[in-house]
Structure formats: structure tokens, C-alpha cells
Amino acid sequence: MNRHHLLSCAGSILAVLATPVAASAQAGPTTPAGRASSQRAPESAAQTIMDDVIVTARKKSAAERAQDVPVTLTAVSGAQIEAMHARNLTEVGQTMPNVRLDDAGAFPGTQNYTIRGMGFNSTIASVEPTVGVFVDGMYIGANLGGAQDTFDLDSVEVLRGPQGTLFGRNVTGGAVVMRSRRPTGEFGGVARAGIGSGGRKMFAGGVEGPLSDSVAAKIYAQYSDLKGDFDNLTLGGHHGKGREIFVRPSVRWRPTDAVDVTLIGEYGITDGDGVANRILNDPNSALYRAGVREPRGGAEKLTINFAGDTDVEWSQAILDANWEVGPGRLTSITGYRKVDYASSGDTDGSEREVARAFNDMNQEQFSEELRYAAQAFSGKLDYTVGVYYFQQDLEQFYHVFFNGTSNQRSRGTLHHKTASVFAQGDYEFIPNVFLTAGGRYTWEKKRARNARTPDCTVTLACTLHDTGEESWTNFSPKIGLSWKPNEDLLLYASWTKGFRSGGFNIRTTGANESAGPYDQEVVKALEFGVKSEFWDDRARLNFAAFHNKFSGLQRTVNQGLVNFIANVASATIDGVEVEANLLPIPNLALTATAGYLNARYDSYPTLDVNGDGVPDPGLAKGLQLVRAPKWTYAVAANYDLDLGQTGLVTSRVSWSYNGRTTMNDANTYFVPAFELLEASVSWRPSRDSGLKVSVWGKNLTNETYALTGTVTGFFTDLYQAAPRNYGVEVAYTF
């Protein structure tokens, strides 16, 4: 059975599974004790926004309230994600200061995540991301084909700033921690169905229950189909089509109160068009001077002359095992993941036959983390110690046609191993005053093989050459101080060192393009923060300020259509962040966030600012970093209207702003600021009913926007986000 047939069959099966009538015939709307919040009807969607979120960011023996953690993070529960009508991580990130979790680049499904001005802006598979993604404790090693959907999640935690101690892969920007819902042992489930603009339709369903007194199981599956949100003025018809099916089974074994073991699997496939690429009016580009212009009309208009194609298949398994041992908890997280990614698309975004690219990647990874968390000295010391191992194998093929001619071809492989030991403790040396100290020592080795245009035929039969082998070590310490004078106030400060791994470029298409190795990128970060609650916990106000100093900054240097990676710069990023929640009346929740960044280069000796082929180190100092807008802010309101016997109506309106940002290191082209307006209305027959009908709309002002694009001497384009889209969804929880 081929991929397209499988997707069609899956849609038919899930359509039956997602029918609310079928669900109601088996069980009425119940809310069994212990059911995760994402699968019960909340007493109020507005109050849900104010609920405490329990997080595991510090990997302690017991989870903590987000407000009690002396780390700058934003955590949202599954119920809060549902109340926000956020369907993917990109929409979750729009509510957070100095955070963009975009999944588009030169090819679809690229994790172009940016936190505090440190962003990933490359489709070279061997580049280490600045923002780490962790799914159920497993680090996602490949930036292509990563996780985005928020369905069936228990929580999402976004940690801002370098995470040098507790996380298995050190990152300089931050970490996104996703946790799926575990089986509870109670019988229940959910069914969803939706349709919308662009020919979109979605069917999803899940069921869980006990298999024995000690074993519980759950399975969740989803099918989605999109005909395309864009109008292609060149080829006619729609662009942006895509279909996806994934299934996530899990089994939880709890033979005693001291043992908790969960096995979580996932398999998924997608197929669809290539990137939604939009040519821009840049007077410095050759295409503009030749008369090519940005398409007229709304954000839905494109002029791509090659639709391209994207196919992704992934499978993964995670074993999360916990044992109560002595005074603490021993945790083992074993993860395996395999991704096959293939995509092609129009590189320039115009009606001309200028450039098109083909990008294939295969990745396989294995990881193991073993840690022990406990308390000592009558509870004054709370500590975590652990070891971590990760290995992956990558292979990438890349093929570019320029003016209809196959002139850039490459193939590369990377074998990567890393191991580390880590420890962190919090010691209460004065009542309510805690000293935090920790560190991680990391060793890693990478070995690469490459072939470039002279070694590869047009059919990508390549002769690989050994590029080299390199090893690195790094020690990343952290020290912090926090004071909790009362239950409603927390003050904290910390100094952290983080690093981004060195490596090789396995996508060396140009004859003169360097494959590396390049060295590690290092950040030293100062942070101060305040978390507060007041007005009987109906108001929450959090503040953070930071100063990050980067050295050996890794940049993907663009020379025409040729890219290479090097440690070419140093930079300083200063900023502040504010988050506020308010429940003025029981059925109205107001939220607001604001972020400010001053992200500039301190030095960039090799940067050609004027485009004359001569580096301009003096002019480079002070230039703005890419994907680092000075201002981001957002406001939202959730309101519940009780209609008595007619039911309960919940409405939400949100608005977010992203300031203008440069698209290249030389700051020769800036993406304008953009604003996003979203709204939704949901109805339930009663407050405790399992049935919910929702109408939603995204990008209602039809903004043309993205943070990512390409600036070359030939063209300037934008990897465009979705235009206005809307739909209706029916969900039933039982």
C-alpha cells in the first residue's frame, strides 16, 4: 500500500472514530478522578487560563508549580492549550515574550525556533539548533521533520536562555519541553472532527482504559488534510496542500506505588507541497532590476513556478521508567527515533525559472538518560545527579537547479556521539533563601564524509570523501540565588554558561565551500527575575531581565546560493520580559506579555556589509542579529458566558505584535513588523458536558509575514506563514 492510499484509508477510519454520536453511545460525559485536565470539561475556560501548571524543568524528585521555579519559563497545560485554540507550537509561541517557534524555512517542517534572539536559520541537517526540543524526555536530534502538533499533550514548557546543566543537549537559546498525556487507568476518550478554509479537514480520536489492575493503555490518532491556503498565480490552483496521519499508543505499568513505567510510541507520515515562497521587492536584487515584482493582492497570493513536494515519515519510542529508591527517585529515559525527510521547492519564489532545490535527509538516533533525584539534610538540600548518552547518524542529499541547469549537488554523512555527567542542587542555607549550584561535563565526537558537485552526478551518485573527525569537551556550570519571602513572591538571580556544539557541514554544494570543522559556540548569561501572585491568586505578574554574551558565534554564511558554517562573530543580547495574568471576574481572564531585545554583534571580522567583496569589520559592529525583533508583545481575553439551559459560550480574542527584523547578517533587508489577530467561540450544552462546538479564525487581518527568508544578489524572498484561515470543530470527551 503506497503512502497516498494509506493516508486516504486513515482519514476514512478516523472519520468514523471521531463521530461524536458513536462516542456518546458507549459512555456519557463523565469526568473520572485523576483524568488529565486536557480531557475533561473545565469548570471555566477563563479560570483554566489561571490554573497552576506543574512542571518538571528542574528534574527533581517531585514536580513543581511553575511559579515556584527560579527559572524563566512559560508553561501551559493541555487544557490551557485547548482554551487558546493553539493547534501547533508556532501558535503557542506567539503568546510568549521573545519567543518564535516557527516551523518553516527554505523547506517545510524545519524547526526555525528562536528564543531571546538566538534562532536557527538553516536547513543543513548537521547544524546544531540553538533551541532544543525534548519530547517526553527525549531530545529531537534533527531539525527537519520535527514535532509541531499540540493535540494530546499534557503540557508544554518553554525555558528561555541557555540550558547548560540539566538538559542532555546544551543549547544557547532555550528549550521546548513537550509532555504527552499518560494513561490514567480510567476508561475515557475523546473524538474530534473539523473542517475549514483551504479545504482543510481533520479527524482525531483517542481512547484509554485499564488492561489489568496494574496496567493501563491509551491510543491517540489524528488525520488532517489541507488543499492549500495560497492561490498560485503562475501555475493556477492552490498551493500549500498537505496531509498528515500519526498514531501515538502508550502503555503504563504501575505494579506498586514505588514503580511507574510508561512506554510511548509514535508513527507518522506527511505529504504535501514544497515551501510557500514569496518573492520580495528588493531593489538590490537582480530579479527586481529585471522587472520581477512581489505578487499583488493579499497574503494568499503567490507566483511560484514550481510547487515542489514534501514527504516525511517518522517513528519513535520512549521508555520512561521511575523507581522510588531510598529517599529519592531513580529515572531512566530511553529514546529511539528515525526520520526520513524529502522535500523540493521553488527557491526564489517568482514566476521565473531561476532556482529550485531538492533536499533529502535520513536520521536515526538513540539516547539514554539515567538520573537520581532526592533530598538530604532534613530537606534543606534538593539535588539531582545523572548521566546522559546520545548518538545519531545523519545523511543528507542536496540538489540545486539554477536557470534550469543542475549546477550544485552534494551528499554528506555524519556520525555523532556524545556523553555527559551532570549534577545540580538547591540548598536552603537561610530560611526561604536557596543557593543553586550545578554543572555538566560533556564529551562528544563527530565524524563526517562529504561529496560535492564534482563528485556527484545529476542522479546524485556520489563519491564520498572523509572530511575528518573531531572531538570536543565542555564544562557548563550554573550558580544561582533565590529568595521566597512568602508563598506569593519569588526573587531569583543566576549566572549560567551554555554552549552549542561544534561540527561539520554535510551539505557542501559549492566547489569552494568549507565542510569544517567549526568550533563550539559559547554563551555566558546573567539573569534576574521576579514571580508574584496577589489579589487572592487572581493576578499574576512575572518579570525577567538578562544579559547574554556570546563568543565563537556560529553563522551560516551565504555567498550567493553557497552556504558554509563558521565561528565568525561575537555578540551581546540584553533584554527584559514581562508576563501578566488577571482574573478580574470569575468568567473573564486577561493575559499580556511583552519582550524587549537589544541583540547586536560585537565583532564580525569576515562580514561584507557593503556587498563589494571586502569585509567591513568596523561596520559590522552593532548590526542587529537575524530573527531578533526589538519588541514582541501580545494580549488576549477569554470570556465565559453562561446561558443557563441554553449552554455555555466561551470566546477568546488575541492579538500579537512582532517588530521588524533583519533577514541577513549584513542588515541589508528588513522584514516589516507584523500583527496577528485571532479569535474563537466555543459552545457547550452545559458546563460539564463533554460536547464542544468551536469556530476559530487565525491571522484574521491577512498579514503577509514570517521571520525567515533568503537574501542573495539574485533574489530576496520570504518563507511565508499561512494567510487568513478559519474553520469549525466538534469535539466530544467521554
pLDDT at 110: 86
Instruction: Look at residue 618 in the predicted model and tell me its pLDDT.
Output: 86
> pTM, whole model, 2 decimals?
0.92
Residue 57, pLDDT score: 87
pLDDT at 146: 73
pLDDT of residue 147: 66
Give the Cβ contact number of residue 542 at 10 Å: 22
Give pLDDT < 50 ranges for the chain: 9-10, 12-42
pLDDT in tens, 548-600: 999 999 987 665 555 678 898 999 999 999 999 999 999 999 999 999 999 99
Of 332, 306, 19, which is closest to residue 168 (Cα–Cα)? 332
d(CA 638, CA 626) in angstroms, rounded, equals 33
Look at residue 281 in the predicted model and tell me its pLDDT: 95
- Domains of the chain: which residue ranges? 3-733
Predicted local distance difference test score (pLDDT) of residue 309: 97
- In angstroms, rounded to a whole number, what is the distance separating the alpha carbons of residues 513 and 461? 19
Report the 3 state secondary structure along 470-506: EEEEEEEEEEEEEEEEECCEEEEEEEEEEEECCECCC
Residue 13 has a pLDDT of 41
Q: What is the pLDDT of residue 368?
A: 97
Please check whether residue 690 is in contact with residue 734, taking contact to mean a CB–CB distance below 8 angstroms: yes
Cβ(152)–Cβ(248) below 8 Å: yes
Contact 152, 38 (CB under 8 A): yes
Q: What is the model's pLDDT at position 511? A: 60
Superfamily of domain 3-733: TonB-dependent receptor, beta-barrel domain (2.40.170.20)
pLDDT digits (tens, 9 = 90+) for 116-138: 999 867 788 898 889 999 999 99
Provide the pLDDT for residue 558: 60
Would you state the pLDDT for residue 574?
98
CB atoms within 10 A of CB 43: 14
What pLDDT, on the 0 to 100 scale, is given for residue 15?
Answer: 44
24-82 pLDDT, tens digit per residue, is 333 333 333 333 333 444 457 788 888 889 999 899 988 899 999 999 999 999 989 98
